[in-house]
Amino acid sequence: MTDTTQQTETTAPLTGKKVAFLATKGVEQVELTSPWEAVLAAGGTPSLVSLEKETVTAMKQDWEHGESFPVDLHVSEAKAEDFAGLVMPGGTLNADALRGDEDVLAFVRDFFAQHKPVAAICHAPWTLIDAGVVEGRELTSYASLKTDLKNAGATWVDKEVVVDSGLTTSRNPGDLDAFNAKLVEELAEGRHEGQSV
């Protein structure tokens, strides 16, 4: 008889991989929980990195308060080398707070410097702009970020998911199925030489 537990562990594409989820107050709840569940289902270990020290309260479509989620690590103590990749959920308040923090920007830049996969959805590419990592890259985002991204030197396209050398981006919660599939695929592939600062 086959041991299905062992079989699942050996076939799960993210087994042994720890994945950072970067979020703070105001994160769009489904953009945190859906990719988190996808990483877990693929055998990975998600970890919530935040500006907060205890919990993060999510939002539902920037209007309604959602659930609170426990923080695993404050961003000032987080190191990119401890993770296989980075997932950045959206939410207007979340992205606006993150992009103004120097520890956040250094943490994000380190994933690019180490050629590790990064996935950002909705408003999260705002933080990528401030980290200085979008110039010359093709990506998508929530539609209102289109001009900001173009001004930062990116090529913006209107597609449900865009992958550019380890950088995965999507527009909104409606794209989560495609986003989740690609972020798991990119995390499983590992480092991408084209992913750099």
Which residues neighbour 151 within 8 Å (Cβ) at sequence distance 6 or greater?
A: none
Residue with tokens 């877990």: 40
Domains of the chain from N-terminus onward: 14-189 (3.40.50.880)
Q: Looking at residue 10, what is its pLDDT?
A: 54
Q: Looking at residue 7, what is its pLDDT?
A: 42
Q: Looking at residue 3, what is its pLDDT?
A: 42
Q: Looking at residue 9, what is its pLDDT?
A: 45
Do 85 and 118 touch, CB atoms closer than 8 A? yes
d(CA 152, CA 128): 10
Catalytic annotation, residues: 122-123
Do 119 and 35 touch, CB atoms closer than 8 A? yes
Q: What is the pTM of this model?
A: 0.93
CA dihedral angle for residue 182, residue 188, residue 191, residue 194, rounded to 10 degrees: -20
Q: Which two tokens stand for residue 114?
A: 């180490």
d(CA 192, CA 189): 8
Query: Which residue stretches of the chain have pLDDT < 70?
Result: 1-10, 197
Share of the chain above pLDDT 70, in %: 94
Q: Looking at residue 103, what is its pLDDT?
A: 98
pLDDT, one tens digit per residue, over 34-69 is: 999 999 999 999 999 999 999 999 999 777 888 999
